[in-house]
Amino acid sequence: MQPMRSFLVSVLHWWLPVLLLAVSLQGIALAEVKDDDKAQAIVHMLDYVGVDYPESVQNGQVIKPEEYAEQRDFAAQALTLLGQLPAVSEQDVLVQQARELLTQIEAKASGEVISTLANQLLVHIIKSWKLSVAPRQVPDLQRGEILFAQHCVGCHGTQGRGDGPLAKGMDPAPRNFHDDARMPQRSLYGLYNTITLGVRGTPMRAFGELSEADRWALAFFAAGLRADSSMVHKGEELWRQGLGKAEFTTLRAFVTTAPSQQAPAGSSLDAVRAYLTRQPHVLQTAAQEPLVFSRMKTEEAALAYSRGSKDEARRLAIAAYLEGVELIESALNNVDAALRVEIEREMMSLRTAILEGSSADAVTAQATKIVALLDRAAERLSSSTFSPNTAFVSSLVILLREGLESILIISTI
């Protein structure tokens, strides 16, 4: 027994510090998750305030006291949680905006004023804390339809009109996805958040057991119920004619903006939006997919660096270039060579800033600059007549020609 005991003591001597470190790191990871959950919860509450408040107060008079109290409570909670988030440079301004929102609600301001304040604050929070607000892959609406039948029909009904067999007597009633007053006010991200977090005090529970991809699929399917087939067909024809391509450029922008903010109800753009909601893969064109990837990895690199994960930030910054921009450099060079050079230069500056240990603010500022350039590149590529096939062939050529460059980048970082 003595040799075994000595062996165990030896193992504990060497591995106990490692185990303690692992527990500490796990605690840090959990803290980060909680901070992210707080930010997501704030966005969720602001989305509800922006959508539901206008029906609670009209002409300075409270029409629905219980819903008004709920909106006031949501705004107050958002203000409290906002002050608990990890510090960012814009935090004090955003706290002031949240306080102004609560003050205006207490003053029974108009629905338009409250919706505008809530939506502006929501967007700023998403940007400031770099929340993940877009699908990582194109949502599968067939999967969404299956999930809707499994989890939603009981309350929302087979057509999503809020008239399912379990809906009778529910207060508040289940959401009617055909509601022309409320649904245009709700972004796809808002629906995704509702599915993810649920709605406190209602039968709408959180569906945390579903994967992120499944929750996005369900959100897109529910959002698409409002449009009939003729509207979707009209939107497809208009899209093919070029309408909406300047307004709807990326999935990220598409899911974070409420329909009413992008297109008046019944307009041609509204029809295009209905089509894209049913066919989101259209937004992921062959020329833009690498740029979407680069954008995502650049933002993740800045976020990782701000959390002290320098090695991860370096890896993500490399991936943003080699697995994204590099693939469309030739295509971009044909439509805007100067922009291509600028993007390459600024991405190199980001990698250098990470390598040299620059401040988190400097790295974040550099990443923000790159994201803006990538958005410009997406616009230039989408507005050109450069075909996807030509882009693909050109990408192969540039990969062969610049393979050495990739090796050099990896070897120097």
Predicted structure pTM score: 0.53
pLDDT exceeds cutoff 50 at 94: yes
Over residues 336-356, mean pLDDT: 92
Asked if the model's pLDDT at residue 394 lies above 90, the reply is no
Q: 31 pLDDT exceeds 70?
A: no
Please calculate the CA angle 72-74-77 and round it to the nearest 5 degrees. Answer: 110
Provide the percentage of residues in the chain whose pLDDT is more than 90.
37
Rounded mean pLDDT of 304-309? 92
Bridge-based pairing state of the strands 61-62 and 57-58:
antiparallel
Give 353's pLDDT tier (boundaries 50, 70, 90).
very high
Average pLDDT over residues 231-238: 94
Residue 35 confidence class, pLDDT cut points 50, 70, 90: low
Tally the residues of the chain: 413
| Contact yes or no for 280/251 (Cβ under 8 A) | yes
Of 334, 333, 322, nearest to 403 by C-alpha is: 322
Given this model, what pLDDT does residue 74 score?
A: 87
The structure tokens listed for 183 are: 């649904």
pLDDT: which is higher, 385 or 183: 183
pLDDT of residue 33: 37
Looking from the CA of 310 toward its CB, the CA atoms found within 13 Å total: 10
**pLDDT score, position 271:** 94
| pLDDT for the residue numbered 135 | 81
Q: Per-residue pLDDT averaged across 49-70, rounded? A: 89
55, burial (CB in 10 Å: exposed 0-12, middle 13-18, buried 19+):
middle
Predicted confidence at residue 390, as pLDDT, reads 44
* pLDDT band at residue 254 under the 50/70/90 scheme: confident
Residue pair 301/371 in contact (Cβ under 8 Å)? The answer is: no
Q: What is the pLDDT of residues 95-139, one digit of tens each?
A: 999 999 999 999 999 998 998 899 889 878 877 887 767 787 788
Q: Which pLDDT score, from 0 to 100, does residue 82 have?
A: 93
Judge whether residue 4 has pLDDT over 60.
no
pLDDT class of 275 with cuts at 50, 70, 90: very high
Sequence spans of domains, the chain:
2-128, 141-283, 289-412
Range from 106-120, 136-150, 167-181, 324-338 carrying the lowest mean pLDDT: 324-338
Q: Which residue has the higher pLDDT, 390 or 246?
A: 246
The CATH number of 141-283 is: 1.10.760.10
Confidence grade of residue 284 (pLDDT, cut at 50, 70, 90): low
Q: Is 70 exceeded by the pLDDT of residue 89?
A: yes
Q: Averaged over 342-366, what is the pLDDT?
A: 93
Query: What local confidence, expressed as pLDDT, does residue 370 receive?
Result: 95
Region 279-289 average pLDDT = 67
Which of 279, 280, 251 minimizes the C-alpha distance to 132? 251
